[in-house]
Amino acid sequence: MDFGLFFLMQRDEQWNEQAVYDSALEQMLAAEGLGYQSAWIAEHHFNDYGLCPSPPVLAAFLAARTTTLRLGMGVSLLPLHHPVDLAEQLAVLDVVSGGRLDVGIGRGGTLQDYQTFGSERADARKRVEEGIALMQQCWTGVPFDFQGEFHTAEQLHVRPRPTQRPHPPLYVAANSEDSVRSAARLGLPTLSSFFTAIDELQRRHEIYREVARSAGRSEADLEALEAQAWGMRVVHVAPTHEEALRATEAPFMGYQRKMAVLRSDAQGGSVPDSFDRSRLRLRAFHDYLADGWALIGTPAEVRDGLQQYLDATGYRRVLLLMALPGLPTSLAMRSMRLFATEVAPAMKAVPQRA
């Protein structure tokens, strides 16, 4: 089992921007010593939902202060970037980190993001698929020509070549059925969000396998891709159930309020057509817990809930969203330590399906 940490870099109203970075960095820099496999940083622009518009810059800072921790782009919003520019930045990051980069690709973002960066959200899916193909070409280390709908290149030779071969691992954010199908066609593993229900994850796994087989993937290929995929859960561990709830209710609900605003029609936030918009309406804290959006409690309670999640989904890698907005750093660090020492060692991977 691999466990990584996911950082939205979200700002609580009572925190200033520096405090968000200070808290997240303390957690990120502690992750390696506690045995976490990776730290993933989300890209967001122009609002407090996420304060890191440039994850490669922050990841480079981490790379200089760690030795084994993998650095995840969680995710790079490819339609907002020129693929060649992003490929160059990430190649440098892979080189200076000694080959520790993982690259998640997504098409999220608000309408303002797309307008500001001169991209059409209606074309986002095609831009992602074309952009991934162009980035993969950039990372071959040899000159190439490229003719696409949005980008062209002649005898382009991108340097430096990434340290990892053939390139850093690529993942597709799959928060809709269309994204699952796209990832399967491309032969790339998926990253799922914590707000996707387990029965929906199970359905999407079957869709992924069906589409991948239709694209010519072998059963061995499918097993390898599924083993690389990442699930996600909000997690907080405390000595008692009451302490866990008391620490997280306000931060978790603060997150929900920000997500509701970001994804409202007024903001032009991206919500998959297949997504049940009623799930974005604010509900009581305990309703979210009952729906499995978060695993919050004692080590034993989190162990049981996480094992049920693993058994139901088959994931062997899980990203943990522990850094909730406004959660005191000391409590987040305590949760990280308790998870590492009392939860992670007890988790059992689910055998791969035949």
Instruction: Tell me which of 85-99, 259-273, 300-314, 326-340 is least confident.
Output: 259-273
How many CB atoms sit inside 10 A of residue 260's CB? 14
354 found inside a domain: no
Asked whether the beta carbons of 98 and 163 are under 8 A apart, the reply is yes
For the segment 279-285, the average pLDDT, to the nearest whole number, is 78
Residue with the bigger pLDDT between 272 and 76: it is 76
Residue 158 has pLDDT above 90, yes or no: yes
**Helix then strand then coil, % of the chain, to nearest 5:** 50, 15, 35
26 found inside a domain: yes
352 found inside a domain: no
Token pair recorded at residue 55: 């994850």
353 found inside a domain: no
Question: What tens digit of pLDDT does each residue of 253-270 get?
Answer: 999 998 888 766 554 555
Residue 292 has pLDDT above 90, yes or no: no
For the segment 232-255, the average pLDDT, to the nearest whole number, is 97
Asked whether the beta carbons of 350 and 311 are under 8 A apart, the reply is yes
144: alpha, beta or left? (left if phi > 0; alpha if psi -120 to 50): beta
Which CATH number fits the domain that encloses residue 236?
3.20.20.30
Q: How many whole angstroms separate alpha carbon 272 and alpha carbon 146?
A: 30
In this predicted structure, what is the pLDDT of residue 20? Answer: 98
Long-range CB contacts (within 8 A, 24+) of 95-99: 95/160, 95/162, 95/163, 96/60, 96/63, 96/64, 97/59, 97/60, 97/63, 97/71, 97/163, 98/63, 98/163, 99/162, 99/163, 99/164, 99/168
Asked whether the beta carbons of 106 and 160 are under 8 A apart, the reply is no
Mapped onto helix, strand or coil, the DSSP state of residue 71 is strand
328 found inside a domain: yes
In this predicted structure, what is the pLDDT of residue 98? Answer: 98
Quote the mean pLDDT of the chain. 94
Identify the sign of the CA torsion 212, 216, 220, 225: negative
Residues near 242 by Cβ (< 8 Å), separated by ≥ 6? Answer: none
Phi and psi dihedrals of 2, rounded to 5? -115, 135
In this predicted structure, what is the pLDDT of residue 266? Answer: 54
351 found inside a domain: no
Q: How confident is the model at residue 354 (pLDDT cuts 50, 70, 90)?
A: very low
In this predicted structure, what is the pLDDT of residue 261? Answer: 83
Residue 283 has pLDDT above 80, yes or no: yes
Residues near 291 by Cβ (< 8 Å), separated by ≥ 6? Answer: 197
**What is the signed CA dihedral for 178, 180, 181, 187, rounded to 10 degrees?**
140
First to last CA, the chain: 19
Going by C-alpha positions, the residue among 173, 170, 209, 169 that lies closest to residue 191 is 173
Question: What tens digit of pLDDT does each residue of 13-64 get?
Answer: 999 999 999 999 999 999 999 999 999 999 999 999 999 999 999 999 999 9
Question: What tens digit of pLDDT does each residue of 227-236 get?
Answer: 999 999 999 9
- Structural domain including 254 reads 2-346
48 found inside a domain: yes
311 found inside a domain: yes
How many CB atoms sit inside 10 A of residue 79's CB? 25
Q: How many whole angstroms separate alpha carbon 95 and alpha carbon 60?
A: 10
Question: What tens digit of pLDDT does each residue of 91-136 get?
Answer: 999 999 999 999 999 999 999 999 999 999 999 999 999 999 999 9
Q: How many whole angstroms separate alpha carbon 305 and alpha carbon 294?
A: 9
Overall domain count for the chain: 1
Q: How many whole angstroms separate alpha carbon 297 and alpha carbon 303?
A: 9
Token pair recorded at residue 26: 């303390």
Residue 272 has pLDDT above 50, yes or no: no
